[in-house]
Amino acid sequence: MVDWIEIGSVDEIPSLGSRVVHANGEEIALFRTANDEIFAVRDRCPHKEGPLSQGIVHGKRVTCPMHNLVLELSDGKAVHPDEGCAMVYPVKVEEGRIWIAWQSAAIPE
């Protein structure tokens, strides 16, 4: 069974921006694309643990502000030639409210 945690409103995240929330002791970066898609990723770059929430959102990717590592927001995987991946959380949006599936957090292989 999946536990969904209500995080807040889509409108609380700027377009092409992010917001950090705390859930069960974790810092989670919520990202909003230009198309209003919402992604949730652990707010820690797999390279040097920089704050992904302070990175630049472009398309469905974020670039880490520390060393320019680029990650896919959908699965947390680094874009070639970079390596590594960040933990991602399934997200759903209902009536403008954001929900994260906490038990389904996963690091892609």
Confidence of residue 72 (pLDDT cuts 50, 70, 90): very high
Residue 109 pLDDT: 44
> Residue 103: what pLDDT?
65
The domain defined by 4-101 carries CATH number 2.102.10.10: yes
pLDDT tens, position by position, 9-28: 999 999 999 999 987 788 99
Residue 103, token pair as written in the block: 């038990």
Q: Does residue 60 contact residue 88 with C-beta atoms inside 8 Å?
A: no
The model's pTM: 0.89
Please report, as a single letter, which amino acid is at residue 74.
S
Compute the average pLDDT of residues 96-100.
95
What tens digit of pLDDT does each residue of 37-62 get? 999 999 999 988 899 999 999 999 99
In Å, how far are 23, 50, 54, 79, 100 from 82, measured between CA atoms? 28, 15, 19, 6, 27
Other CB atoms within 10 A of residue 55 CB = 24
CA distance 69 to 72: 10
